[in-house]
Amino acid sequence: MKLSRSVMWIVLTLASFVLLIPASSLAQSKPKVSFDEFFNAAGIGSVRISPDGHAVVMSVGRADWQQEYFRNDLWLYRDANGGSLLQLTQSGHDGDPQWSPDGRWIAFVSDRKTPGGKGGSTALRGDDADAAEKAAQIYLIAADGGEAFPITAGDEDVHGFAWAPDSKSVYFATRLPWPKSKTEEYKKLWKDVVEYRDAERGDQIFQLDVAAAMARYYAKGTEAQPAASEVAGTPGAKLIASFDLGINDLVCSLDGRKLGFVSSTISHRQEKVAQIEVYVVDLTQPDAARAPRKLTENTTQEAVLQWATDSRHLFFQTEVGSMEGSRWDPQPRLYWVDTESGKVERWAAKFEGAVQLGEYAPTRDGVIFAGRLGTEVQYYRASSPNDDAAKLAGWSGTYGGITASADGKLAFLYSTLQKPTEVYVADSTAKLGAASAVTKFNQLFTERDLPQGEPFRWKSDDGAAVEGMLIYPPGQFRAKGLKMLTLIHGGPQDADGDHFEMDWYQWTTLAANAGWVVFQPNYRGSIGYGDAFTLDIAPHIVSKPGRDILAGVDELVKQGIADPNRLAIGGYSYGGYMTNWLITQTTRFKAAMTGAGAVEHAANWGNDDTTFDDAGLFGGRPWEQPKVYAEEAALNYMDRVRTPTHMVGGSEDIRVAVLEDYLLDRALNSLGIPSSLLIFPGEGHGLGKNPWHGRIKVREELKWLEKYGDAK
């Protein structure tokens, strides 16, 4: 936010006095972030600028400690009269906001209870109110505020939706709805038995007239209810197309003639890469000829669709695998496909780093994307597929969440280690460096003494150059002889850098506040250092990056930064894989904290919901590469472990099954190694159900660090 003239005068008047005060004294005048403050940081996502560029809607997440869940509400910024920010929704269950093209409405997805309770809107919801309350549906709210109301209904979640360009209708996808009679028959036959594959079914795409849906909602019960033989879905919805797989990323072309989407598996597990492709539906065809047409057929996982402004090309990104088919799993890339010819072209092919997933915006003259190079994420622009990406002039640090209006205004997220995440608005790409913050959700942290950090570089055992981040305790920047926590990121396709993050996964600030210098290694397999660096992890998926990490620890000890007698290690997800492996390779770490990490790879291949990437990295399935699977399994070296280890896992995790945590716990217990295992009920891989779980996780990890890592 810009300063007023009076405030600016005060700042300038005090500046001369501030210059006389040592920097260390200024830092000491600020308190450190408290444990409670840390877990009350706001998470900002789904930033969307209005079509006219004068407003921004965003979703904001916070922990609700009393109701024990993570709230997610929508907020709206308007630039009129100097700028204003208001909370649009308060249900705590709202996300994925999308502006109507005319700018009058904001549609979003919510699994909130329908206003009025069980009988509040019977015309829309039907008799089975309790079931409908649990399904995610589309809601509308006026752009100038008011009461949000649902326009879809039924027992099935909405998997994706898109506005028609005339703003008169909405397209949405749900799993094939069943008549109420069939649902009751199925429940009677199977009770609570789960048919693991056979009960699944594909999605259907519907079109809904918005004005008619609003009329039905406000009629409140005047419309007859569906009979038992009728489909229990959204009244008035017109079937557009049926599909035998799931549907994600539903998008409508700007000319209103086509729908695009990415297919997904109906089992919700990514078992076959061939089931994830880009499709198009031609809305100009008659109903009988409107079957989805496949546009891609490759060995990659497509994601994040957006239409180009020409309404002919569909942008998409690759998350796992390679469009070219020659290499298995390079960094995330950006492509587009010609929906008429089927030709696929890669954008920014010469860009050395990674195109951050979900971080791009098509424009009238090309595309803007967030690209990671090393520890920085900056914005780049390209005007054609063959054009070299040009870096936009901005600030050092981390950009994300970009969205552009028709006239070129930008809204985005920005942060650094010492600058909390907020939403910014810029008038154009040329004025990125003059952007203004339009939110203050994390302003409290500007009043706290935040840890300072910098990149750290070293050579691995084979001479490869590796980089990471060093985060110092407040007031001890570049100090020597510090106790050191090596905190390893997940992925492995991720990287640590100069960005603000405060949550159970990235608890660097709290560790630094406790006096630890935190080492965050971007080991081989990380992104932002070229495809060769990312791909060099295979097939030695823990041993090679493990040597990178240990070489970094050795160098930090050699330079006198880290105290060799007070070293600890930790990580979650792939960081857990690495932690589990490294405590079998060295006894130098006095304490370890691991979460959701595998100790072997055969059972994990079978339990993981992303099985094809594991097989790709190992060069085959467990019976095809048994030697590699065995050599890279920490379980086979457990007799070497001497490090007291703290473990956590979600009871419903299907990314890294909780059985891996139990297996590690059993091994350590049988060896007599001090250990502790926490299981969080109902949690998946992301611990997103109950904020108390993440809070307790970090609380106990800090205790473990103090008990074992800092022992004299």
Q: pLDDT, tens digit, for every residue of 316-350? A: 999 887 777 655 678 999 999 999 999 999 999 99
CB 90 within 8 A of CB 117: no
Give the span between the Cα atoms of 248 and 252, in whole angstroms.
13
Give the span between the Cα atoms of 472 and 451, in whole angstroms.
6
Give residue 92's pLDDT: 96
CB half-sphere exposure, 351, CA atoms < 13 A:
35
Q: Give the three-state DSSP class for 123.
A: helix
Residues forming beta bridges with residue 137, ordered by sequence position? 110
Q: What is the mean pLDDT of the chain?
A: 90
Is residue 530's pLDDT more than 90?
yes
Give residue 180's pLDDT: 82
Is residue 568's pLDDT more than 90?
yes
For residue range 471-522, what is the model confidence (pLDDT) as tens digits?
999 999 999 999 999 999 999 999 999 999 999 999 999 999 999 999 999 9
pLDDT band of residue 25 (cuts 50, 70, 90) is very low
The separation between CA 624 and the C-alpha centre of its own chain, rounded to angstroms, equals 33
For residue range 606-648, what is the model confidence (pLDDT) as tens digits?
988 887 778 888 989 999 999 999 999 999 999 999 999 999 9
CB 433 within 8 A of CB 394: yes
Q: Which residue has the higher pLDDT, 38 or 198?
A: 38
Map tokens 């009129």 to a residue.
80
Is residue 267's pLDDT more than 60?
yes
323-358 as b/e: b if 16+ CB within 10 A: beeeebbbbbbbbbbebeeeebebbbeebbbbbbbb
Give the residue-averaged pLDDT of 5-31.
43
Give residue 120's pLDDT: 29
Is residue 712's pLDDT more than 80?
no
CB 291 within 8 A of CB 241: yes
Give residue 676's pLDDT: 98
pLDDT band of residue 137 (cuts 50, 70, 90) is very high
Per-residue DSSP letter, 4: P
Q: Which two tokens stand for residue 596?
A: 């959701």
Q: Over pLDDT 70: what percentage of the chain?
A: 91
Name the residue among 487, 484, 574 with its Cα closest to residue 526: 574
Is residue 370's pLDDT more than 60?
yes
Give residue 581's pLDDT: 98
Give the residue-averaged pLDDT of 195-203.
86
Give the residue-averaged pLDDT of 527-549.
96
Name the residue among 532, 537, 524 with its Cα closest to residue 614: 537
Q: Which two tokens stand for residue 635?
A: 């379980």
Q: Which residue has the higher pLDDT, 232 or 251?
A: 251
Is residue 429's pLDDT more than 90?
yes
Q: Give the three-state DSSP class for 6.
A: helix
For residue range 284-325, what is the model confidence (pLDDT) as tens digits?
998 878 999 999 988 888 999 999 999 999 999 998 877 776
Give residue 238's pLDDT: 93
Map tokens 């089931």 to a residue.
275
CB 47 within 8 A of CB 58: yes
Is residue 236's pLDDT more than 80?
yes
Q: Which residue has the higher pLDDT, 337 or 15?
A: 337
Give the span between the Cα atoms of 421 and 412, in whole angstroms.
10
Give the residue-averaged pLDDT of 240-250.
94
Give residue 328's pLDDT: 65
Is residue 43's pLDDT more than 60?
yes
Is residue 367's pLDDT more than 70?
yes
Is residue 84's pLDDT more than 90?
yes
Q: Which residue has the higher pLDDT, 199 or 531?
A: 531
Q: Point out the least confidently predicted range of 17-21, 157-161, 237-241, 591-595.
A: 17-21
CB 569 within 8 A of CB 579: yes
Per-residue DSSP letter, 93: B
539 prior amide bond cis, ω within 30? yes
Give the span between the Cα atoms of 693 and 132, in whole angstroms.
28
Give the span between the Cα atoms of 275 and 201, in whole angstroms.
14
Give residue 340's pLDDT: 96
